Structures are given as structure tokens and as C-alpha cells.
Structure 1
Amino acid sequence: MQERYQNLRIAEKGVILSMLAYIFLAALKVIVGQLADSATLIADGANNITDILSSLAIIYGLRLARRPPDEHHQYGHWKAETIATFATSLVMLATGGSVIYSSIKQMLTGQENTPGIYSLFVGIISAIIMLWIYFHNARLAKKIKSASLLAIAKDTRNDAWTSIGTSLTIIAANFKLPQIDNLVAMLIGGLILKTAYHILSDSAFALSDGFDDDLLDQYIAAVEKIPQVEKVHNIQGRTYGANIYVDIIIWVDPQMTVRESHHVTEKVESLLRRKFTVYDTDVHVEPWDVDYEPLQPNELNSGY
């Protein structure tokens, strides 16, 4: 348990690192974008501002998730991390829409911007910083199995590619192709929306107790290799933050004693914890029945 709380603290440090970089880069891009008359650079800076808000929400969620179980949250507060991720995706959706709206408005009014060439260096510096932070946080997220830190890392990677696109746009605009600036600003807005959608769908899937079927298949295959397990009758999985909870029903020899069946459940729990880092497993044992025929979906809903 202490290790998992420590992982939340490690994830928080990674998010803080990203947030500090976003604060610096957002200020730099907005200021230089105004001076250089670059809609793309300003849009890129606006994207970083949403990243700051997202980071703050994630930090709050990580701290709330560290609270121990209480009377009203007997499974703990782990889902606070996922709720914070869901909330940040909504902010990103609003920002992406705003960027696209502003770009279309400028194009329809015939505004053409030729950003100063010195703004190019801001885009290059930003891309280098973002790529470094991405590799750092992605490696850290994989190590501690933090979904929220991995989401922040992926967003940082998108920011790096966005900054590269901004740099290319500034070069093109200075070669008398100023409308490209607004077009790429729209693409940046679209990228914000795309990232927000993926984060929104993933967090909503987790909050609704969705679970990866492929993982369940892996659990079943591993458990059925235990000699005393005749068959996995049913299995369900859910997540609380980075923690995986599994409910599983196994069939065993009907002649097995209570003590022996208890040892089998311990083997199942140990296997899933050791091989798949499952946080908690609830194993239910039933006698193996070779003549058992599972109900079909239409029979389950027949009302009998």
C-alpha cells in the first residue's frame, strides 16, 4: 500500500515538472507571438495555458487519491485521479474550439500575418524542452503505472510536434505565404481537440468501470494453467486509479476440501498480483460440473 502511495507522489513530481515548463513556455510564446504577430505561436501558447490548468487538476487529483479509505470511501480515493483527468479534457475541448474559431474568424476577415523570423527560435526551443519532458515522464509513468502521468506525457509529446509545426509555419509565412499561419493555427486547435477526445474517452471508460477484454483473456489463460483449477467460470475487472481489482469465479474438483480450495484461491491471488500487478483479487470457488450449460443471453432476460 505504501508503495502505491509513494508512486502517486512520484507521479505528482513529474506533473509539476511539466507544469513549470508549460508556465515558462506559455508566457514566452504569448509574448513573442504578440510582438511577432504570429497567430500560430499565440495558439501554441494558449494550448500550453490549458496544459497548466490540466496539470493543476491532475496534481489535485493525485493528492486526493492519496487519502486513506474512510467510512464513505471504503475502496479509497483512487478514482480522484481519473476524475481530474476527465475534467481537464473538458477544458482542453473548450480551448481547442476557441483556437479554431479565432483562426476561422481571421481568415474570413482577410487578416494576413507575417510573423517575425525571430519567433522561429521560440518554436525550436519549445520543441526541444517538450520532447525531453515527454521521454522523462513517459519512462516514469511506465515504471510506476500511472495513467494520469502518461496522459500528461502524451500531451507533452503533442506539444512538441505542435511547436515543430509552428516553426515550419513561421518559415513559410516569411516566404510570402502568410495564410499558412492561420491554417496551422486551425490544425493546432484540431490537435488539441483530438488529444482532449482521447483523454475524455479513456477516463470516461475507466469511470464507467470499463475494462480491457484482452487483459481479462490473459488473466483467464494464466489462471487456468494452475493444476487445481478446472476452468474459469467468470471474471470481471475494474480499475481505481492505477489499481486493478478482479472478481473471479473458478471451478475446482467437487471432492476438494475447504482447506485445499482455500490454498487454490491463494495461488490465484498470488499469480495475478505477481504477473499482472493486480492490486486486489476476490476469488469465488465453485464445484466443477462437466454437465453445466451456461444460460444464453435470451434466457438471462426471460424473467424466470
Structure 2
Amino acid sequence: MTHPPTTAIRHSPDLEGELRAASKVTLIGMVLDAVLGIIKVIGGVFFHSQALLVDGIHSFSDVASDLVVLGVMRVSRQKPDQNHPYGHQRIETIGTMVLGSILIAVGAALAWDNILRLIQGGADQVPGWPVLVAAAASVIGKEWIYRYTRRVGQAIRSDLIIANAWHSRTDAFSSVIVLVSTLGAMGGFIWIDTLAAVVIAGIIIHIGWKFTWDAVKELVDTGLSPEDTEMLKAIARDTEGVRNVHELRSRRMGHDILLDIHLVVRPEISVSEGHQIGMQVVSGMRDALDNIRDINFHIDAENDEEHPPTSEQLPSREGIRNLLDEHLGGLPSHTRIRLHYLRNKIHVELFFESPDDAPGLDAEQITRHLQGYPWFGSLRLWFGAR
């Protein structure tokens, strides 16, 4: 039996192209956040809207988060190097966790502030109509940048960019709160905007928690869902030449999936056939999930989970040949030996060009010489085989 080593199959994304797309959309969003922030702060001060003023401060916090995204994306989209052979996507995961934490903090602050307003009463001045214009412009602008950013994030497989898109949408939610609160104040129902603010703040907290928790699960190497894991195992089992799959491990790095799988095949096949079977499994898995980046497959001759793994202390090829030479008085130099290491036994096959190369030797005779060794399993002789 020949035993191929573990083989790694990698799919390399266009890191430079992804960085350019991420930088472009983030810079556009940052400029929009800065412009809207200035408009809302000025409008809040001059037209008596505390809500618009706070919303403007929220927009400036988006500018700060955009700067964080730009820095994190530049580092996380670097090519793999000697110290980081799998790449730097985990830095993006940390950035996603930080951004989610910011969303939680912003949502909690908005919720607390508006709960206090709900308890203590509303503002004592009615905002002017320009507040509605500024808030409406903010809703339109932030909803547009949310959709644009989310589309880019999905295209380049970046959870951080998608999280930043949702951060932009929270600013749109805040502007909706301003619209509702202003209309409520103008109509004499100031409490409506405060109640809506608490609800929207809860949504912001929920979004932030989702991104933070997903990032934490990735950092502790949480695997794929049981459904996806079983689907990949089924694909491997259904591949011609695969007898069983006794181990499949998975983890995520950014949006990418990394897999390790052990494939049980017939013990007598060649190294090249075992490798080809593994490549067929890889192809089937990639057809099912296109974000699989690395697949390490190991070709096994037996199921290590059902039987104790073959001991590393068994004799090597050179040791076996020396024993055969010692007991049989030497083998022809062109004799080929094939060894099968199965269940802590060695099964030996000897290949001779013709019976004349092994006069007086037969399987029973050689077996008598070897059966005293605890590692010996069986012996087969082949004549006329090359």
C-alpha cells in the first residue's frame, strides 16, 4: 500500500483588487459622513434640534470608524508571508468585532438618552422646518451608501465592509428618528420620537451584537454548521474511490473557509490515484461552497477512529529489505518490494521478473522466516510483474 501525504489545495483571491474596491467605497462613505455631519451639527444648533445635533455627532463617529476600516482593510488584505502563511484576514475579524462593539455602544447610548427623555419629558423648543430637510437628506444619503457598501462587501467577501455598511444604516435610522421627533414636536406629540428612538437603538444594539458575536466565534475557530459539514462529508463519500470520511474539520478566516479532511481509500492503490481521488473531492466541495479557500486532504488506508493507528515504530522499507536479505541469502537487486502498513501489521509483496530470479523460494518458505516477528502480517509473491 502506498500512502500519499497530506495535500493542501489553495484558492487565492485577488487581494489587491479587493483592497482597491474596499478603499474606494469607504472613502466615498467617509466624505459623505463628514458632509452630513457638518450639515446636521449646524442645522441642529441654528434650528433648535438637539436630536439633529446628536445625529451629526453620530455621523462624525462614522468618519472615525471609516478610518479604522481603511487601516484594517489595508493590513488584512496583505498577501500571505512567512509569519502569516494563511494570510491576514483575522485582522479583519478583529476589526469587525471592534466595529460591532462600537454599534453596541452607540445603540446603548442612544437608548439610555432617549429613555431619560421619555421619563423626564421632551424638548421645550419646536425645531424649524430645515431640520426635516437635513434629516431627509441624511436618510437618502446614508441609505444609498449602505446599499453601495453592502454590495461591495458581498462582492469582495468582507464581513468588515458589510458591518460598516450596517453602521451607515444606523445613521439613517438615527435620521429617521430625527424626522419622527421633529414631526411629533410640530404636531404636539413629542413622546413619539422618544419611543421610536428607543426601538431603533435596540435594533442598532442587535446588529452590533450579531457582528461582534460572529467575529468572536471565528476567532475561537468555530466550525461550519452541522448541515454544511454533513453536506461536505456526503460529497466526499459519494466520490468514486472514497470508502469513508472519518474526519472533517473546518474553521473560518474572514469570509473564507479552511478545511481538513481524511479520506479512506483502498489500501492497494497508488500514490497518484489517491491524489487524484482527493482532487475529485476538492472539486466537488468547491462546487458546493465557493468560499472554500484551503482544503487539506489526507489519504488514509484505514479508519484511524475505528482501529488504532499504525505505529510509527514498525520497520521501515530498508529494515524489511535487510531482514529479507539476511534470512534468504540476498534478493536480486531489481526485486521490487511493496509494503502495506495496516492495523499495526506489515503486509509484504515481492515482485520478481521471473521464477528464475527466486529459485527455491516460495511464499510459505519466506513466511516461516518472518512469522516470528510481531509486526508481520502476510506475504505475496509476484512473478513476471514490472
TM-score if structure 1 supplies the norm length?
0.85
**Shift in CA distance, 168/109, structure 1 to aligned 2, threshold 3 Å:** closer
Task: For residue 176 of structure 1, report the CA deviation from its aligned partner.
Answer: 0.9
Structure-1 residue corresponding to 2:274: 261
Structure-1 residue corresponding to 2:257: 244
Structure 2 distance, partners of 1:189, 1:89, is 14
Please say if 1:282 is aligned against 2:296: yes
* Residue identity in the other structure for 2:45: Q
How many residues are treated as equivalent by the alignment?
Answer: 294
Structure-2 residue corresponding to 1:301: none
- When Rg is computed on C-alpha atoms for both structures, the one with the higher figure is 2
| Matched residue SS, 1:239 | strand
Select the structure that is richer in helix: 1
Which segments of 5 or more consecutive residues in structure 2 lack a partner in the other structure?
A: 1-11, 309-386
**Shift in CA distance, 283/2, structure 1 to aligned 2, threshold 3 Å:** closer
Task: For residue 122 of structure 1, report the CA deviation from its aligned partner.
Answer: 1.4
Indicate the RMSD between aligned Cα atoms, in angstroms. 2.7
**Shift in CA distance, 5/78, structure 1 to aligned 2, threshold 3 Å:** farther
| Preserved contact between residue 173 and residue 200 of structure 2 (Cα < 8 Å) | no
| Preserved contact between residue 39 and residue 185 of structure 1 (Cα < 8 Å) | no
Residues 41-69 of structure 1, C-alpha deviation per residue, up to 9 Å, x if partnerless? 23433333332222222211111112333
Structure-2 residue corresponding to 1:271: 284
Select the structure that is richer in strand: 2
Structure 1 distance, partners of 2:223, 2:45, is 46
Identical residues among aligned pairs (%): 28
| Matched residue SS, 2:245 | strand
Structure 1 distance, partners of 2:230, 2:19, is 28
* Residue identity in the other structure for 2:141: I
Structure-2 residue corresponding to 1:297: none
Residues 180-231 of structure 1, C-alpha deviation per residue, up to 9 Å, x if partnerless? 3433343343333222212211111111112331332332233333212223
* Residue identity in the other structure for 1:270: S
Residues 100-136 of structure 1, C-alpha deviation per residue, up to 9 Å, x if partnerless? 3333444454452432222111121111112222222
**Shift in CA distance, 27/186, structure 1 to aligned 2, threshold 3 Å:** farther
Residues 76-97 of structure 1, C-alpha deviation per residue, up to 9 Å, x if partnerless? 2221111111112223333333
Please say if 1:119 is aligned against 2:115: no
What is the aligned counterpart of 1:174 among 183, 186, 193? 186
| Matched residue SS, 2:127 | coil
Structure 2 distance, partners of 1:293, 1:36, is 78
| Matched residue SS, 2:89 | coil
Task: For residue 175 of structure 1, report the CA deviation from its aligned partner.
Answer: 0.3
Residues 11-31 of structure 1, C-alpha deviation per residue, up to 9 Å, x if partnerless? 222222222222222222222
